[in-house]
Amino acid sequence: MLVLLLGAAACSPGTPEPRVIGPQPTRNPPPVAVVPGDSVTPTLARLTTRQKVAQLVMPWLLGDYVSADDPSMRRAYRWVDSLQVGGIIISTGTPLDVASKLNALQRRAPLPLLISADFEGGIVMRIAAGTAFPTQMGIGATGRTEDAYQLGRITALEGRAVGVHLAFAPVADVNSNPANPIINTRSFGADPHAVAQLVAATVRGMRDGGILSTAKHFPGHGDTETDSHLAMPVITAPWARFDSLELVPFRAAIDAGVDAVMSAHIALPALDNGSRLPGTLSPAILTGILRDSLHFQGLITTDALDMGGIAKEVSADEAVIRAFEAGSDLLLMPADPAAAITAVTRAVESGRISMARLDRSVRKILELKARMGLFAHRDVDLSAVSAVVGSTEHKAIARDITERSLVLLKDAGGTVAALRASPQRVALVTVGSTTLGTTLAAELRRGGHTVSTVVVPAEPTARDLLRIDSIIGAAKYTVLATSVRWGSYQGTIGLAQSTAELLTRLSRRRPTVLVSFGSPYIISQVPTAGSYLIGWSNTPVVETAVGAALTGRNAITGKAPIPIPPSWPIQAGIVMPTPRP
């Protein structure tokens, strides 16, 4: 019964008492009295030291469906009603599963939870059935700030509908290194000023849509060749380079009113007196540069504290303490939330961290919760989710942006022009995904082409190769479709050498269009392809757009927002403006 009363304490007068879902905790915490109206100051005053520290901690939870007594939910219940964590970062699930799970947790929490999620390029990064955009780099290829604004606005509307308040987006990194294995198409591009405009527009869209925004990964993750999920990257560039490149989009985000900034687990010796300390643990980076030089007064959040870039450098307990000392307010995904709370609490009680410093961060978090209206109403209406998430209006906007994001980097033999001009016999060869190509094949056939399809296995046998050669031999043109994308813990990005060699051989057989549904840089591995079209991501929406472009139903107007080795500069792209009737 005590848990029920605690859950109801934050509700506005007249709100029905929430139903307790799942097993009861074995040990209940003391209640936290929440005063309606101006709830931040009196609430802060009533928190114990440990309760204050718990507000800084945000563990990670899958958004999939599980029963109320599933072990993962039992653990989550302990986080919110025993540990009293300040929030949750939610991950993969369907809109209704995510919303119902968050409602259950909100109803058990003594204080309302601040819910966050990685919503780069729309909520579909973490939630199925949302509106799919073509990735931030695809937005960069359109060159329109209005597109970035709509990305932010629609992401906000759909995110709030499922119960998320803080989006860990947009990515403000400038992707200046083509070998970067973890940023790639997550960035808007390589021109810091163009990226800055698009970041600012996204922040404005998110604010107008009602969600809190986060610029990441400060002070810039774009010039690395190491995945910080695996190990700590080191960027040795001098201050002048950072000042004129990496920091430009962060300044624009701050000017646009971004609510939070996420730190990067990157060592920056030139910015940190020669130290190779991860930026997340560096007072010189988070306080000296972000707070003092850039005058950012909002929420600073760490990147995930269980990532290799930080976990391999210091112990888990020391990491949370030093991240807080460096200037962070929110401690994201510590390996053990209970241990993290205990470690920081002891640091406060020993005098290592002052109570005033702790109160400043807790106040920021409570103020964000108040801004989101969580002290009055903390759960969402499940019946309203389907009216917002993936709505016809939202999908129409995203589809238009996707169609304009396609970049035709080269068409040396006129293959794309020929496919757009009249129906042809086409061999569609897909690589890197068992689902890639189905929608594209249908769109090519819809446009009048006769299409034969074949999937290249990861390790093709001699029989597979004979079949591929036979299908290509019977066609006049070849479309090679690949899906190479960034991914956590991969360490590298690009086609496997054996795959690149196979595609190079196949591209010599017939006039060929190489289509990338992911990284824009793979053309350097298959230089023999006469034509190269970039689609940015592997979704049915992008496949539909590529099919419409290759059959002349849509114009091709995108421009590359990054230079692409070996020879294409920023803004390269062939425009084919007149669709075939």
Which residues are known catalytic residues? 229, 303
- Cβ neighbours, 10 Å, residue 265: 28
- What does the alpha-carbon distance between residue 495 and residue 158 come to, in Å, rounded to a whole number? 34
> H/E element holding 74?
helix 71-77
Q: What one-letter code names the amino acid at 304?
A: A
Rounded to the nearest angstrom, the gap between the alpha carbon of residue 545 and the centroid of all alpha carbons in its chain is: 22
Looking at residue 267, the DSSP 8-state letter turns out to be B
Residue carrying structure tokens 């190479």: 484
* DSSP states along 334-383: -S-HHHHHHHHHHHHHTTSS-HHHHHHHHHHHHHHHHHTTTTT--S--GG
- Cβ neighbours, 10 Å, residue 515: 27
Please name which of 122, 154, 153 lies closest in space to residue 135, comparing C-alpha atoms: 122
369 — phi, psi (to 5°)? -65, -40
Residue carrying structure tokens 């390029």: 121
- What does the alpha-carbon distance between residue 398 and residue 6 come to, in Å, rounded to a whole number? 42
Peptide bond into 566 cis (omega under 30): yes
What stretches of 383-432 show up as alpha helix (H) in DSSP? 385-388, 392-405, 415-421
- What does the alpha-carbon distance between residue 117 and residue 99 come to, in Å, rounded to a whole number? 12
> H/E element holding 200?
helix 192-209
Q: Please name every residue paired with 549 in a beta bridge, in sequence order, or none if there are none.
A: none
Q: What one-letter code names the amino acid at 580?
A: R
410 — phi, psi (to 5°)? -155, 155
Angle between helix axes 462-473 and 497-507 (nearest 10 degrees) is 30
The token duo for 476 is: 């006049």
Q: Which residues contact 393 (CB under 8 A, 6 or more apart)?
A: none
Q: 194 near 137, Cβ under 8 Å?
A: no
Q: 294 near 315, Cβ under 8 Å?
A: no
| Distances 100 to 17, 97, 536 between C-alpha atoms, Å | 16, 5, 32
Q: 568 near 407, Cβ under 8 Å?
A: no
Please name which of 183, 246, 255, 241 lies closest in space to residue 218, comparing C-alpha atoms: 246
